[in-house]
């Protein structure tokens, strides 16, 4: 089944860039819906292989303009940190934007809809992140579209907000703060493996009407995860466990400063187990997911103080006209068709 051009929301994000590349590798033409001013975040290899439409996923008209002429939607837009003063909230991005995308799909008779949520998401879950992600899922599940939902655990890869943050912290300090008792468990999954599954699902009818919890081949407690990263860096790090009640009282104030590295909601994300059984899924799509241990092995090559390249790709694994004044490959915002 040839889906041709596919609308991708959240295409400038960490996961979105990898999904765009995975779609291109399968012969699709991704159309990225990108906020004005964010065009510079698109790597050149993606810009040259995709079409870019300027707009805002929280604006219904933008989504309807962007979706016209496409034959499927891959909805990735999401945040882990709110900036209410800028109108960036979990409700707007995870719920309203999802509703906009589903309505636009219905209006333009685009039945294929791939949605990315998060492991642990459900309506009414503790914490605004998991609750809003769950409500977004509910909108998709209750639609009459041919939907597929992906619910990944913590995603890692170059430039992520999780493992890369640990690398930076553990690489420069002999002491590291650990939220809570360090026992919460994660099942980190490599970004290219998640992107492969999403792109693969677009034209796989057996994935329709199903949700997939996705984790990597290993699970770690937060303490074990920090020890694993430290070992890969060739360092010994002392962990100081910070009680969650203390963090919950201090972080809301400090997170008002955008440079502060963690938000109140990220505290809640780090306090919730994120593990699942996903072996049958990887077997079904004939994909061997990259382990965090193998990913981090790149750090052991050379100890000069510079980061070695990590997991440069999928080698050895199965798988896979512009307006004047507008950057090449970027479409200007248009008005909704009458």
pLDDT band at 302 (very low <50, low <70, confident <90, very high): very low
Domain region containing 43: 5-153+191-214+277-289+312-331
**In the chain, pLDDT over 70 holds for what percent of residues?**
87
What is the spatial distance between Cα 314 and Cα 337, in angstroms, rounded to a whole number?
42
Is residue 210, in this structure, part of any structural domain at all?
A: yes
Over residues 175-201, the pLDDT tens digits come to 988 989 999 999 999 999 999 999 999
What is the spatial distance between Cα 32 and Cα 60, in angstroms, rounded to a whole number?
16
Over residues 203-237, the pLDDT tens digits come to 999 999 999 999 999 999 999 999 999 999 888 88
Least confident span in 73-82, 140-149, 266-275 = 266-275
More confident position, 85 or 282: 282
Is residue 175, in this structure, part of any structural domain at all?
A: no
Q: Which residues of 241-251 are buried (b: 16+ CB within 10 A; e: fewer)?
A: eeebeebeeeb
Over residues 87-103, the pLDDT tens digits come to 889 999 999 999 999 99
Residue 26 burial (C-beta neighbours within 10 Å; 0-12, 13-18, 19+): middle
Is residue 174, in this structure, part of any structural domain at all?
A: no
**In the chain, pLDDT over 90 holds for what percent of residues?**
62
What would the two tokens of residue 65 be?
A: 């303009």
User: Can you spell out the DSSP letters for 237-291?
Assistant: -EEEEE-HHHHHHHHHHHTTSTTSS--HHHHHHHTS-B----HHHHHHTT--PPP
The CATH number of the domain holding residue 142 is 3.40.50.720
Q: For residue 284, give every residue at least 6 positions away whose Cβ sits within 8 Å of its Cβ, in sequence order, or none.
A: none
Count of domains forming the chain = 1
**At residue 332, does pLDDT exceed 80?**
no
What sign does the CA torsion over 10, 13, 19, 20 have?
positive
Is residue 246, in this structure, part of any structural domain at all?
A: no
User: How does the average pLDDT of the chain come out, rounded?
Assistant: 86
**At residue 303, does pLDDT exceed 60?**
no
Is residue 139, in this structure, part of any structural domain at all?
A: yes
pLDDT band at 256 (very low <50, low <70, confident <90, very high): confident
Closest CA to 226 of 160, 182, 257: 182
**At residue 168, does pLDDT exceed 90?**
no
Mean pLDDT of 38-44: 91
Is residue 261, in this structure, part of any structural domain at all?
A: no
Is residue 26, in this structure, part of any structural domain at all?
A: yes
Is residue 170, in this structure, part of any structural domain at all?
A: no
pLDDT band at 305 (very low <50, low <70, confident <90, very high): very low
The pLDDT value recorded for residue 82 is: 86
């Amino acid at each position: 089944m040839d889906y041709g051009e596919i609308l991708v929301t959240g295409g400038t994000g960490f996961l979105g860039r990898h999904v765009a590349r995975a779609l291109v590798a399968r012969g699709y033409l991704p159309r990225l819906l990108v906020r004005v001013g964010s065009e510079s975040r698109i790597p050149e290899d993606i810009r040259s292989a995709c079409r870019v439409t300027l707009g805002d996923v929280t604006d219904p008209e933008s989504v309807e303009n962007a979706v016209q002429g496409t034959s499927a939607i891959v909805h990735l837009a999401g945040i882990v940190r709110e900036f209410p003063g800028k109108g960036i909230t979990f409700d707007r991005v995870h719920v309203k934007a999802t509703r906009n995308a589903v309505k636009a799909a219905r209006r333009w008779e685009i039945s294929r809809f791939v949605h990315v949520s998060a492991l642990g998401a459900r309506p009414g879950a503790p914490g605004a992140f998991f609750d809003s992600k769950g409500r977004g899922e509910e909108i998709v599940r209750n639609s009459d579209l041919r939907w597929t939902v992906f619910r990944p655990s913590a995603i890692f890869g170059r430039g992520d907000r999780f493992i890369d943050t640990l690398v930076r912290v553990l690489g420069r300090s002999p002491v590291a703060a650990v939220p809570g008792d360090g026992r919460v468990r994660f099942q980190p999954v490599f970004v290219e493996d998640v992107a492969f599954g999403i792109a693969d699902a677009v034209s796989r009818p057996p994935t329709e009407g199903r949700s997939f919890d996705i984790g990597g081949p290993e699970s770690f407690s937060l303490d074990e995860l920090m020890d694993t990263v430290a070992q890969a860096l060739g360092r010994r790090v002392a962990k100081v466990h910070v009680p969650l009640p203390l963090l919950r009282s201090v972080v809301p104030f400090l997170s008002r400063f955008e440079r502060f590295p963690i938000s109140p909601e990220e505290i809640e994300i780090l306090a919730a187990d994120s593990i699942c059984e996903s072996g049958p899924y990887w077997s079904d799509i004939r994909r061997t997911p990259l382990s965090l241990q193998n990913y981090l092995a790149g750090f052991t090559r050379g100890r000069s103080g510079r980061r070695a390249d990590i997991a440069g790709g999928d080698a050895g694994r199965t798988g896979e006209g512009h307006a004047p004044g507008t950057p090449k490959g970027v479409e200007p915002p248009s008005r909704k068709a009458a």
